[in-house]
């Protein structure tokens, strides 16, 4: 059966590096949303803890509950029904608009998300006073304020403009925190922002993609010592000899130019690997091309190895499909078995 391996040493290497940039492991929130970017949230949580991480971020409360025993604090990014929020020492909900502040139950732990020009969600800078009033009136437990950068991985001024807005937000909320006698933490940096900036006072960082070994930052920002942590493996279903001129797969898109040995393997787009159309070549780790179109549950490759590594780095796969590393990773089916490797290092 096809499976994924998680390289613990690479993961540790990435988190150690990021912690050093962030000012310590206690300054990191590791982002585990969407099944830990496809790596497997339940497999990754104990690894992060073993490395010394105490704080995590999840998409929703369902994910947060899965890893609650492991972390002291879990920031939940989305809650479409704030009135149903759980009051729990370890769970912190994101308050993304004034409406949510009206609905969270009394004593809910929250962080305020501020829209510093991403334009999706978040309290607007001119609503801050109102928000703090509401939080006080509704007796919500505010312990942090954060924002998200939309332009940290692009070249241009966007990132600097947003940082400037954030700086003003911090100043204003520090005054409000004093007025309401609140002890707040601040966080703004995602992977790209952390990689490209050095000290940001005592700010916390929320790292996703870089912890898994990738960055989409342009190479003009430098190179970063990150190691991909996830590999995809497939097992052989059968082997056959194709005669010159014979075809492989739907549409007959691959035609053998000579007699060749071909095997099929148990990975397909049903397992979350993107569907290959067969028009452009994509090779697996050993350099051999995937032949023709990718089926729902299998693919064909020249040779007869019993087990093949489909990828141990998704950079070229993402390029092939004109997307980003995030998307290739996150699509990995939750039904694939995850095996943690403790010894190997790449
Ligand atoms: C996904 C996400 C992150 C992590 O982003 P990366 O680019 O993967 O580091 C951080 N903060 C928020 C609010 C997010 O949604």
* β partners of residue 136: none
CA 32 / ligand 1 centre spacing (Å): 9
User: In 3D, which of 2, 3, 1, 14 has the Cα closest to residue 346?
Assistant: 14
207 within ligand 1 shell (Cβ under 6 A): yes
- 124's tokens: 């607007």
CA 254 / ligand 1 centre spacing (Å): 40
User: In 3D, which of 95, 215, 79 has the Cα closest to residue 143?
Assistant: 95
Q: How many helices (H) and strands (E) does the chain have?
A: 10, 17
Mind listing the pLDDT tens digit of every residue in the chain (346 residues)? 999 999 999 999 999 999 999 999 999 999 999 999 999 999 999 999 999 999 999 999 999 999 999 999 999 999 999 999 999 999 999 999 999 999 999 999 999 999 998 989 999 999 999 999 999 999 999 999 999 999 898 898 999 999 999 999 999 999 999 999 999 999 999 999 999 998 777 899 999 999 999 999 988 999 999 999 999 999 999 999 999 999 999 999 999 999 999 999 999 999 999 999 988 999 999 999 999 999 999 999 999 999 999 999 999 999 999 999 999 999 999 999 999 999 765 4
Distance CA 344, CA 8 (A): 8
191 within ligand 1 shell (Cβ under 6 A): yes
206 within ligand 1 shell (Cβ under 6 A): yes
- 250 included as an active-site residue: yes
- 304's tokens: 């007869």
Selecting among 250, 269, 285, 331, the annotated active-site residue is 250
pLDDT for the residue 344: 67
Rg of the chain over all Cα atoms, to the nearest angstrom: 23
- 129 included as an active-site residue: no
Tell me whether residue 238 is exposed, middle or buried, using C-beta atoms within 10 angstroms of its C-beta: 0 to 12, 13 to 18, 19 or more.
Answer: exposed
Residue 329 contacts residue 39 (beta carbons within 8 Å): yes
147 within ligand 1 shell (Cβ under 6 A): no
Selecting among 12, 25, 33, 73, the annotated active-site residue is 33
Of ligand 1's atoms, which has the minimum distance to the CA of residue 152? 7
77 within ligand 1 shell (Cβ under 6 A): yes
Of all protein residues, the one whose alpha carbon is nearest to atom 6 of ligand 1 is 208
226 within ligand 1 shell (Cβ under 6 A): no
Pocket mutation for ligand 1, best pick of 29, 31, 159 (most atoms within 8 Å of C-beta): 31
The shares of helix, strand and coil residues in the chain, as percent rounded to the nearest 5, are 35, 25, 40
* β partners of residue 235: 307
CA 336 / ligand 1 centre spacing (Å): 24
148 within ligand 1 shell (Cβ under 6 A): yes
Of ligand 1's atoms, which has the minimum distance to the CA of residue 326? 8
User: In 3D, which of 129, 111, 116 has the Cα closest to residue 175?
Assistant: 129
CA 189 / ligand 1 centre spacing (Å): 8
Pocket mutation for ligand 1, best pick of 15, 37, 38, 57 (most atoms within 8 Å of C-beta): 57
| Half-sphere exposure in the Cβ direction for 36 (13 Å, CA) | 25
């Amino acid at each position: 059966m096809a499976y994924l391996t998680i390289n613990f040493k690479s993961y540790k290497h990435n988190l150690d590096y990021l912690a050093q940039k962030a000012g310590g492991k206690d300054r990191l929130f590791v982002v585990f949303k969407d099944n830990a970017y496809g790596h497997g949230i339940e497999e990754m949580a104990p690894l992060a803890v073993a490395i010394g991480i105490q704080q995590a971020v999840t998409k929703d409360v369902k994910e947060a509950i899965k890893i609650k025993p492991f972390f002291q604090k879990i920031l939940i990014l989305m809650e479409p029904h704030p009135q149903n929020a759980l009051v729990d020492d370890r769970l912190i909900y994101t308050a993304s608009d004034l409406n949510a502040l009206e609905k969270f139950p009394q004593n809910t732990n929250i962080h305020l998300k501020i829209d510093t020009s991403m334009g999706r969600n978040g309290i607007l800078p001119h609503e801050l006073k109102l928000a703090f009033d509401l939080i006080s009136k509704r007796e919500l437990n505010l312990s942090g304020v954060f924002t998200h950068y939309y332009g940290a991985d692009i070249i241009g001024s966007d990132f600097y403009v947003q940082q400037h807005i954030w700086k003003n937000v911090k100043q204003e909320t520090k005054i409000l925190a004093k007025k309401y006698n609140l002890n707040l933490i601040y966080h703004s940096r995602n992977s790209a922002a952390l990689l490209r900036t050095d000290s940001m006072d005592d700010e916390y960082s929320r790292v996703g993609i870089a912890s898994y070994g990738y960055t989409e930052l342009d190479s003009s920002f430098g190179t970063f010592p990150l190691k991909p942590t996830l590999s995809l493996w497939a097992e052989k279903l059968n082997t056959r000899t194709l005669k010159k001129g014979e075809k492989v797969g739907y549409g007959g898109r691959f035609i053998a130019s000579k007699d060749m040995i071909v095997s099929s393997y148990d990975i397909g787009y049903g397992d979350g690997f993107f569907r290959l159309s067969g028009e452009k070549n994509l090779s697996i780790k050993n350099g051999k091309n995937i032949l023709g179109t990718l089926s729902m549950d299998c693919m064909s490759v020249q040779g007869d190895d019993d087990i093949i590594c489909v990828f141990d780095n998704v950079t070229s796969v993402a390029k092939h499909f004109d997307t980003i590393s995030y998307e290739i990773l996150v699509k990995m089916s939750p039904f694939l078995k995850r095996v943690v490797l403790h010894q190997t290092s790449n």
